[in-house]
Structure 1
Amino acid sequence: MLTALTKTGKKICLGFDYKKETLMSLRDKEEFVCPVCRETVLLRLGDQRIFHFAHKQSSQCRELYENETYEHLEGKRQLFQWLIKQNIASVLEYYDRNIQQRPDIMFKYNGQRYALEYQCSTVPDKVFTKRTNTYLENGYTPLWVISSSHLHQKRKDLITLSNFQYSFLRTASSGRLYIPAYCPEKQLFQLVESITPFSIKNSFAHLSSLPIQTIELDSILDPQNDHPLSQASWNREVERYMFNWALHPRTEHKPFLQEIYNKGLNIFLIPLEIGLPVAHSVLIQTPPFIWQTYLFVDVLAHKNPQDIITLKEINTSYQKRMHKKQIIVRHLPQVKNVTPFIAMIEYIQLLEKLNFLNKKGDTIFEVQKKIQIPHSNREREEAKQNFLAKYENALSRW
């Protein structure tokens, strides 16, 4: 803990840079109590750890608030000082008795009240969700910041993200989704942006590093950067994933493989137009090549040029696959008022850009040409080269 009260009710916040001599003198004169449970706490001023307050061993409150690592204590201290230097009204370890929750930092900015939680250890999904919803229901905007130690890059443009890490996903005003992280050792914010998953855990993403000394709050609350994804890189990674997936299928993969086989499809000859990256595919846990294949066999494969496709048909397919648990959406506690169905709409809009569809109304599209199924690896390879040139050209003109 970094905050305590004196017996006379004065608040002592170790988020400020007290000299050790000052605190030693204060400790000789004062007794300290926990602001939550009002039990006596001890002021620890060792050389190995950050200065902090500690409950006695027998305290029940100790179990709730003191399993804190050096990284967590130092991280929230640095974040508190960062906010104070920007003249943002902030309270370290603010305890709200009405909701019985204590964010690491409560601050007010642009008329909103924020609850900043710097998370260094994993917590169960139910706990994360309950705390987030409680904040939202009581007038707080939650700002969960994950420790950078939880981020695992496979290479510069690839990252592995677990369900826990996806819980930190939040929305910028532009609608873009991102994950904020912080490293107290390097004093760096990191933003995971342009997250485009091709499997349940693996995703293309851009990871930027921002020194805390030069970055302001707006850049963390509302990043504006866009990082285009290379379609060639995407195709290469998706093909590798699909082939490994098909060559070593798990039990849960076999119904999908059986269904597409029954529909006359070969996973090794899936058209390039199936499994495309779209901005909100992160909302769906099922890999894009799977949910787009379902949409193809349910709707697109049956349509000929000049036939009509409606969003109602697409939604019927989506709901059916959801009901059968063949499409799984991600549980994202901080992402509200955005339906995962938007990923389906973005895919249809992408097919429109590629001249497969022509928009005839807000919810109606006319088929311009069918998606062709390659009959051999050679045919697919030729189609790939043509597709990549067409794809890059279509997006650059849009």
Structure 2
Amino acid sequence: MLVALTENDNIISLASLRLEKEELLQLRHECTFLCPACRNEVILKLGTKQAWHFAHKSKQSCTDELEGESPYHIEGKKLLFEWLQKQKLDVRLEPYLQDIKQRPDLLVTTTKQTYAIEFQCAKISPQLFNKRTFTYQKNNLIPIWILGGNQLKRQHRNIYRLTSFHWLFSNNYFTKSPPQILSFCPLNKTFINLKNLTAISSNNSITSPSYISLKDLSLQKLFDFDKPFPDIGAWLEAKKLWRKQRLHLSQSQQFLRRLYYEKGQSLWLFPSEAGIPVSFHYFIETPTYIWQSWLLEIFINTKKIGDTFHCTLVRRAFYTLVKKGIFPLRMLPLLENGSYFLAIDGYLKFLCHVGILTTRDQVIYEKTAEIPTQKNLAQAIINDRYLFLRYLRMK
């Protein structure tokens, strides 16, 4: 931590003090420092390998739930604090909020809102993430979670490895835009904003990353939104990968394969009408081609032209598979709008757009065309591109 109290409750901030090491050594000799959260004694560490900071004495427990801080984390907090100060904003570093017993890394107060900024450089549990987020929201504080750049892993071009932990940070602050993840690297003093997130598996996502230097950005412009434009090439490459056979299948893949095998069909020749990145698809961790193929097989391929079904039946059947763990959902506490059933509704709307279904009230759907059967992999790849372009014209 960068902030401690003296025995007289004076605040000592290493980010604000402009003291040389000799002066800090003298201060350490003269004062006893206390943790603002638990009021146990902390030590001022002035080593040469790590950033100067306060630390609890060994084997002491603290009521604050923050993880042990790395030099990377400490340096990032200092840079973000100075960045906000230069903008003439009312910013406090590591304030302990007694009423809610939480200590954000930064607290920024404007004329309209107060923001609790968390710079997270190590993995924490979804339960702790949700607890801290909901506590801020309940107390009229807007939580802004910034992921440490050390947590990002680029797989290929604009494809990043994003696990369920990373998706906790997905947000659409101040807009109704698709989700994005904000990251900061203190080593090169750069924000990395992963925009237009499109999930292609439980661990990989297509994104449009933007890199902005700390000195070229303000808090006001931090969440400016660019109109999304799906990466056609990356998405079609993802569909090609889905069509390649694998030795080890996930539970959801095995489930879908059994449905196809009963009819003598190959899982890897799933309809091109499946695997569409409809709005809110990211609420469902299962890849789109799996849950959409299931929907086509259960609610459309089993019906004749002119037959109808109610969207509630689809939602109920889907949720049954969620409870069984076949179609897991993502936990997205920072997204104010959206849900898995809106993803289902968006997919039904797409099927109406391409002429498979019709509806008058978005509740009852009628089958109006058969879904073409894929003859081989080459034909499937051609059809994938055709269907995806039709989807783009729909947006």
| CA displacement at 1:51 relative to structure 2 | 2.7
Name the residue aligned to 2:278: 278
SS at match of 2:205: strand
- Is residue 395 from structure 1 mapped to residue 386 from structure 2 by the alignment? no
Letter of the 2:208 counterpart: H
CA distance 1:88–1:363, shift in 2 (3 Å)? farther
Q: Report the equivalent of 1:164.
A: 165
Deviation at 1:309, TM superposition (A): 4.8
- Measure how far apart 1:364 and its partner are: 4.1
1:198 to 193, 197, 200: 200
Give runs of aligned pairs for residues 314-353 of structure 1, distance below 5 A.
Answer: 314-353=314-353
The equivalent residue for 1:226 is 227
Tell me how far apart the structure 2 counterparts of residues 97 and 53 of structure 1 sit (CA, whole Å): 20
Distance 1:59-1:318 versus aligned 2 partners, 3 A rule: closer
Aligned to 2:116: 115
Question: Is 1:179 aligned with 2:171?
Answer: no
What SS does the corresponding residue of 2:155 show, helix, strand or coil? strand
Q: Deviations over 1:245-288 (max 9, x none)?
A: 4x443566433311222145321321211111223211111111
* Counterpart contact for 2:206–2:234, Cα < 8 Å: no
1:5-31 per-residue CA deviation (whole Å, 9 max, x = no partner) reads 233332222222614165456556544
Using a 3 Å threshold, how does the CA distance of structure 1 residues 107 and 35 change in structure 2: closer, same or farther?
A: same
1:49 offset after TM fit, Å? 2.8
Greater displacement, 1-10 / 97-106: 1-10
Spell out the pairing of 1:11-50 with structure 2 (5 A cutoff). 11-16=11-16, 18-20=18-20, 23=24, 26-27=27-28, 30-50=31-51
Mapping for residues 228-377 of structure 1, pairs under 5 Å? 228-245=229-246, 247-249=247-249, 253-374=253-374, 376-377=375-376
> Does 1-10 or 145-154 show the bigger shift?
1-10
User: 1:243/1:2 Cα in 2 relative to 1: closer, same or farther (>3 Å)?
Assistant: same
Distance 1:39 1:383 in 2: 65
Equivalence for 1:90: 91
Q: Within 1, Cα distance between the matches of 2:51 and 2:164?
A: 31
1:200/1:286 contact within 8 Å kept: yes
Matched, 1:212 2:214: yes
Matched residues in 1 for 2:371 and 2:135: separation? 47
SS in 1 for 2:180: strand
Call closer, same or farther: CA 1:100–1:397 in 2, change over 3 Å. closer
Q: CA deviation at 1:308?
A: 4.1
Distance 1:152 1:355 in 2: 40
In terms of mean alpha carbon deviation, does 182-191 or 44-53 score higher? 44-53
> Could you tell me whether the CA contact under 8 Å between 1:43 and 1:54 is conserved in 2?
yes
Are residue 76 (structure 1) and residue 60 (structure 2) matched?
no
Contact in 1 for aligned 2:176/2:337 (Cα 8 Å): no
Contact 1:88 1:107 in 2 (8 A): yes
Structure 2: segments with no counterpart, 5+ residues: none
Mean Cα displacement is larger for which, 293-302 or 45-54?
A: 45-54
For the residue of structure 2 that corresponds to 1:224, the secondary structure is: coil
- The gaps in structure 1 that reach 5 residues or longer are none
Change beyond 3 A, Cα 1:92–1:302? same
Alignment check: 8 A CA contact 2:4 2:11 kept: yes
Distance in 1 separating the partners of 2:28 and 2:380? 75
Q: Secondary structure at the match of 1:279?
A: coil
CA contact 1:55–1:62 (8 Å) conserved in 2? no
Q: Deviations over 1:118-148 (max 9, x none)?
A: 1111122222222222222332222221111
Structure with the largest fraction of helix: 1
Counterpart for residue 381 of structure 1? 378
Alpha-carbon distance between aligned partners in 2 of 1:108 and 1:63, rounded to the nearest angstrom:
22
% of aligned pairs identical? 29
Q: What is the Cα deviation at residue 181 of structure 1?
A: 0.9
Instruction: Specify the code of the residue in structure 1 equivalent to 2:209.
Output: L
Residues 93 and 175 (structure 1 numbering): CA distance in 2 closer, same or farther, change over 3 Å? same
- Cα distance in 1 between the residues matched to 2:330 and 2:65: 29
Give the TM-score taking structure 2 as reference length.
0.88
Q: Letter of the aligned partner of 2:10 in structure 1?
A: K
- One-letter identity of the residue aligned with 1:258: R
On the 8 A contact 2:189/2:213 being kept in 1, the answer is: yes
Aligned residue in 2 for 1:7: 7
| C-alpha distance 60-302 of structure 1, shift in aligned 2 (>3 A) | closer
> Measured at CA, do residues 289 and 393 of structure 1 come closer, stay the same or move farther in structure 2, by a change above 3 Å?
closer
Distance change in 2, residues 1:344/1:157 (3 Å): same
| Kept after mapping to 2: 8 A contact 1:275/1:288 | yes
- The SS at the match of 2:216 is coil
Q: What letter corresponds to residue 205 of structure 1 in structure 2?
A: T
Aligned length: 393
What amino acid does structure 2 have at the position aligned with 1:207? P
Quote how far apart the aligned CAs of 1:342 are: 1.4
Instruction: Spell out, residue by residue over 1:270-323, the C-alpha distance to the aligned partner (whole angstroms, 9 max, x if none).
Output: 121111122321111111111001111121223455544542243233233324
Secondary structure of the corresponding residue to residue 369 of structure 1 = coil
